[in-house]
Structure 1
Amino acid sequence: MRSYQDPCGVARALDLVGERWALLVVRELMLGPKRFTDLHRDLPGSSQNVLSQRLRELEEAGVVRRRTLAPPVAVRVYELTEWGRGLEPVLLHLGRWGSQAPITTANQVGVTSLVLALRAMYVPGFEGSLELHVGEQVFRVTASVEVLEVTRGTAERPQAVLKGEPGALASVFFQGRELGAAIAAGELEVEGDPAAVSRLIDHLARSAA
C-alpha cells in the first residue's frame, strides 16, 4: 500500500483505509460477515481483482479477518475485527457530512447504506420500536430519546412494520417524499400504526438530494 509518510493520526488512518473501495468494504461489513460473492454483489462498481486486493490489505492491516462458518454452512466469510468496528462512528459522521452533497448517480442505495444512514441521520427525540423489511432482509429499529439502534432480526411487539425496497424507503426517510404517497403507489407497506413511522421520519435529517 502507498503511504503518506506522515505521523499524523489522520494520515496513518488513510494509509490503512484511504484506498479506493476500502471504506466501502468496511461499510458493507458493518452489519455482519459477508462472503466475497456478497461483497462483490453489493459493491457492483468494483472489479473482483480490486476487491480482492482491498480485502487482502485490510486483513494485513488488522481491520478485517477471514473465518470459516461452522457446519453445516462451512463457507468462508470476511468480517470486521474489533479494531475495524471502531470505524463505525467515523462512517456515521462521514455519511451525515456526505449527505449534504448532491447525488450524481441513478444507482439505487444499498441495504447496508440505508440502515447506516438511519443511524447517521437520526435527530434525537423519537422513542419507539419498529420492524423494518428492506427487500428480503429484516431489521428491528429501536429508538430512545438520544440513540437509534438498527440491528438484524424481528422486533418484539413493534408499533409498526414497514416494508419496501431500499430506494423507496430512502425517498421517504431522507428526500421528503410523503409516506402516504409511497403507500398509495404500492411501493411501501405499513402494518400497525402509520403514525409511529411518521414520527420516526420526522426525526431524520434530510439529505441535500
Structure 2
Amino acid sequence: MTEKKDECGVKYTLDVLEDRWQPRIIFWLGFRPFAIEELHQLLPELTDVALNEEITSLQNLRIVNPVVDEENKYSLTDDGNDLRNMVLTMSVWGRQQMDDSANRVSTQIVEPEKDASMSELIEFNEKLNEYM
C-alpha cells in the first residue's frame, strides 16, 4: 500500500482508505483515545494480531501517534485528525448519494457524546456501518 512515490495525492489517500478497517480505526481514535482492548470491543471482527497490524500501519503512515499516552491509549496525530475530517465528509457525501440514487431520504448521523459508555459506542457501530 502507498509504495509508489509517483502516484498522485488522491491515489495515495485512497490506498489508505481502501482498507476495510483503517477508516473505522481513524474514526474511533479521532473520537477519543482508546486502549487496544477498547478498540477490540469496537472492532470485534478483527483479531488481536490484525488490530495490532492495522495500528502499526497507521503509525507508520503518521496517522496514529507512535506512542500511547500515560493511560496506554492510542490517539491520532494532527494529520490523522485532518484525514478523519475528510473521511467523515466523504462518508456522509457517499451515503447521501447512495440514498438519492435509491430515492431514499438520508438520515442525519450524529456522533455519540465524548463520554458515552462503551456499550453505547458499540451500539453506534450499527449506524457507522452505513457510512464506512
The TM-score by the shorter chain falls in which range?
Answer: 0.5 to 0.7
Structure 2 residue identity aligned to 1:47: T
Q: Which has the larger radius of gyration?
A: 1
- Where does residue 45 of structure 1 map in the other structure? 45
After TM superposition, the structure 1 = structure 2 runs for residues 25-40 of structure 1, keeping only pairs within 5 Å, are 25-40=25-40
- Where does residue 118 of structure 1 map in the other structure? 110
Q: TM-score, normalised by structure 2?
A: 0.67
Give yes or no for the alignment of 1:96 onto 2:95.
Answer: no
Pairwise CA RMSD of aligned residues?
Answer: 3.1
| Gap runs ≥5 in structure 2 | 100-107
Question: What's the offset of the Cα at 1:55?
Answer: 0.4
Number of residue pairs matched by the alignment: 111
Question: What's the offset of the Cα at 1:8?
Answer: 0.7
After TM superposition, the structure 1 = structure 2 runs for residues 165-180 of structure 1, keeping only pairs within 5 Å, are none
After TM superposition, the structure 1 = structure 2 runs for residues 1-209 of structure 1, keeping only pairs within 5 Å, are 2-3=1-2, 5=4, 6-65=6-65, 66-69=67-70, 75-100=71-96, 101=98, 117-118=109-110, 139=113, 152=114
Q: TM-score, normalised by structure 1?
A: 0.45
Q: Give the distance between the partners of 2:10 and 2:88, measured in 1 at CA.
A: 17
More helix by share: 2
Q: 1:77 to 1:92 in 2, by over 3 A?
A: same
Q: Give the number of the structure with larger relative contact order, counting CA–CA contacts within 8 Å between residues 6 or more apart.
A: 2
Q: 1:28 to 1:83 in 2, by over 3 A?
A: same
| Gap runs ≥5 in structure 1 | 70-74, 103-115, 120-133, 140-151, 154-164, 172-206
